[in-house]
């Protein structure tokens, strides 16, 4: 992996990894935009969540996930986990210079800067993503004058995994996290959902926001970024691509919780358990 | 570790491990009951939570935690994590026959059977603990005629870690989890808090229960079980024992979140990071 050439065959699958099942929202968007591509998705469920772990540990886990996917011949790597994107993109690109590596942070930041009129942008994410400041840095690379207000919303992950994505508890949590951000004198006009779990809570989040606030989730924007980066000239078109699902622990839970994120029913016996 | 003799010196420290900081509630109870003992606490923060992982993974992690503590000369092992107690006690005792190994499930089950008049006992815990059925089995070993109603309350862990331990969100979550259990025709009269995080939510839990329901948390009952198992004849008395804190990731977060569970302020530079 030390040359500048593309890694693997031109029609190799697209590798996607996440700390667990949340990244299936990104896989869903990728399949919608690139239906004829083959995908290998790896959820590092044995070590989830990444969002409360140190950056050093997350970098190590990310390099292990990438290595496991490269062994299976991927030609492009999508880091579907915001925390891993925030901490590990540079290390992944350094270790695999020939491999296109696309994270969710940069496309999300681009979409937010494009959507915001006031250029005051709110970012909500896990503790790890917020502490690392990656969204703030990515937004400032696009517009140094932008203002970014960040807030860690750890409970949203548990709410999404429990399936409590709407109703009074989800709305009360959304209000508690977001009211201090949006009751400022000069509030943000755009909100970035900087965690793959958060789009599941969109209804509860929207219920506590003023209707003019734009909500950006990085799944669709990341899928568009992947499509732009790929050499798709040699792809056969028309055929529906395949999906291989890998996890590091708990096939039954992966299938049960993951179905909601992928938007289609998953069976536990289609999830292969791997050791990293 | 293949003899029946006690492992390590008679005055060796007591080892305590947990998936993270929740077990500090058990350490707190142990220090209150055994103030002159020395303790080594290991929080496996790199791989928390155990509660959503498979039993097979949790057994592997537990054996690694025990090995790390044995290297430091412990004479007794306390498994402060309910999920690890539920899945790994047998494997730990098999691998270390000379070492007293005390989990939190058996003392909690004993306290519940002793407290309940109707012998209809409710158990709330993580997904992993409930799925394994360890509390149910431990209660039935004590009273085969007891009735056990179990419920996984995954969100309580996130609420405790976020510090949202009272108020409307915690109470609404408690109501959503507990109302189906306690609105039965013949409801339980005793509730076991089968996760070390849950005692932090005691006020919110109590607010949604009828006042006659007895609430059992295993921290104090486990500390009493440890005191009964130890040979304390050679211990010097009077002196305040020491505490060594180990974690597998994130000293700053361990100290910040852990302070509330231990009931005293922790500094990040007193937490030693170890690799398992």
Residue A252 lies in a domain: yes
Residue B5 lies in a domain: no
In the listed set A175, A199, A218, which residue is the last one of a domain according to the structure? Answer: A218
Written as six digits, the tokens of A232 are 């798709």
Residue B7 lies in a domain: no
Cβ neighbours of B164 in A, within 8 Å: 155, 176
A205 and A110 in a common domain: yes
ipTM beyond 0.90?
Answer: no
> Residues A21, A254: contact at Cβ < 8 Å?
yes
A114 and A99 in a common domain: no
Interface with A, mutate which of B20, B168, B173 (most A CBs under 10 A): B173
Q: Residue B189 has what pLDDT?
A: 98
Q: State which residues of chain B have pLDDT below 50.
A: 1-9
B81 is catalytic: yes
Q: What angle do CA B60, B65, B69 make, to 5 degrees?
A: 150
B132 and B211 in a common domain: yes
Written as six digits, the tokens of B88 are 């790994």
In the listed set B172, B198, B218, which residue is the last one of a domain according to the structure? Answer: B218
Written as six digits, the tokens of A56 are 């050093």
Interface with B, mutate which of A22, A43, A46, A165 (most B CBs under 10 A): A46
B205 and B118 in a common domain: yes
Q: What's the half-sphere exposure (Cβ side, CA atoms, 13 Å) at B197?
A: 26
Q: Which residues of A are catalytic?
A: 81, 195
Residue of chain A whose Cα is closest to the Cα of B127: A253
Number of domains, chain A: 2
Cβ-defined contact of B57 to A47 (cutoff 8 Å): no
B97 and B19 in a common domain: yes
A136 and A48 in a common domain: no
Give pLDDT tens digits for A232-243: 665 556 788 999
**Alpha helices (runs of H) in chain B, residue ranges in sequence order:** 24-33, 55-70, 82-95, 105-115, 127-132, 134-142, 155-162, 168-182, 202-207, 218-229, 251-262
Residue B9 lies in a domain: no
Alpha carbon of residue B86 to chain centroid? 10
Tell me whether A163 touches chain B (CB under 8 Å).
Answer: no
Residue A5 lies in a domain: no
Tell me whether B169 touches chain A (CB under 8 Å).
Answer: yes
A183 and A117 in a common domain: yes
Alpha carbons B105 and A108: distance in angstroms, whole number: 45
Q: Residue A234 has what pLDDT?
A: 55
Give pLDDT tens digits for A20-79: 999 999 999 999 999 999 999 999 999 988 988 899 999 999 999 999 999 999 999 999
> Residues B245, B271: contact at Cβ < 8 Å?
yes
Q: Residue A8 has what pLDDT?
A: 41
The enclosing domain of B175 has a CATH number of 3.40.50.1860
Residue A179 lies in a domain: yes
B73 and B23 in a common domain: yes
Alpha carbon of residue B247 to chain centroid? 16
pLDDT category at A3 given cuts 50, 70, 90 is: very low
B180 and B43 in a common domain: no
The candidate with the shortest Cα–Cα distance to A83, out of A19, A151, A177, is A19
Alpha carbons B191 and B173: distance in angstroms, whole number: 16
Q: How far is CA B76 from CA B37, B79, B100, in A?
A: 11, 10, 5
The partner residues of B17 in beta bridges, in order of sequence, read B42, B79
Cβ-defined contact of B162 to A154 (cutoff 8 Å): yes
B210 and B112 in a common domain: yes
A 79-138 residues with CB < 8 A to B: 127
In the listed set B218, B250, B265, which residue is the last one of a domain according to the structure? Answer: B218
Q: Residue B220 has what pLDDT?
A: 87
The candidate with the shortest Cα–Cα distance to A99, out of A1, A16, A232, is A1
The candidate with the shortest Cα–Cα distance to A273, out of B77, B56, B230, B197, is B56
A241 and A201 in a common domain: no
Alpha carbons B193 and B73: distance in angstroms, whole number: 31
Cβ-defined contact of A47 to B46 (cutoff 8 Å): yes
B153 and B73 in a common domain: no
Alpha carbons A193 and A205: distance in angstroms, whole number: 10
Q: Residue A241 belongs to what domain range?
A: 14-103+221-273
Residue A30 lies in a domain: yes
Residue A200 lies in a domain: yes
Give pLDDT tens digits for A135-179: 999 999 999 999 999 999 999 999 998 989 999 999 999 999 999
Give pLDDT tens digits for A257-276: 999 899 889 999 999 999 98
């Amino acid at each position: 992996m030390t040359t500048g050439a593309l890694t693997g065959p031109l029609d190799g699958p697209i590798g996607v990894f996440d700390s667990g099942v949340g990244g299936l929202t990104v896989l869903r968007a990728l399949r919608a935009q690139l239906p004829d591509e083959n995908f290998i998705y790896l959820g590092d469920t044995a070590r989830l969540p990444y969002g409360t772990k140190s950056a050093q540990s997350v970098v190590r886990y990310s390099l292990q996930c990438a290595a496991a996917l490269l062994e299976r011949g991927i030609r492009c790597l999508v880091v579907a986990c915001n925390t891993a994107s925030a901490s590990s993109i540079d290390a992944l690109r350094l270790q695999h210079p020939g491999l296109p590596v696309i994270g969710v942070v940069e496309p999300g930041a681009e979409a937010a800067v494009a959507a915001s009129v006031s250029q005051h942008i709110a970012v909500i994410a896990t503790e790890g993503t917020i502490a690392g400041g990656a969204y703030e840095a990515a937004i400032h690379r696009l517009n140094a004058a932008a203002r970014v207000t960040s807030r860690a919303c750890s409970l949203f992950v548990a709410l999404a995994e429990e399936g409590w994505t709407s109703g009074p508890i989800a709305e009360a949590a959304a209000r508690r996290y977001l009211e201090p951000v949006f009751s400022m004198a000069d509030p943000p006009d755009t909100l970035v959902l900087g965690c793959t779990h958060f789009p599941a809570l969109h209804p509860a989040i929207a219920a506590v926001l003023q209707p003019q606030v734009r909500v950006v989730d990085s799944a669709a924007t990341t899928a568009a970024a992947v499509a732009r980066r790929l050499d798709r000239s040699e792809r056969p078109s028309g055929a529906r691509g395949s999906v291989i699902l890998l996890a590091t622990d708990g096939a039954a839970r992966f299938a049960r919780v993951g179905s909601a994120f992928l938007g289609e029913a998953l069976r536990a016996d289609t999830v292969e358990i791997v050791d990293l």
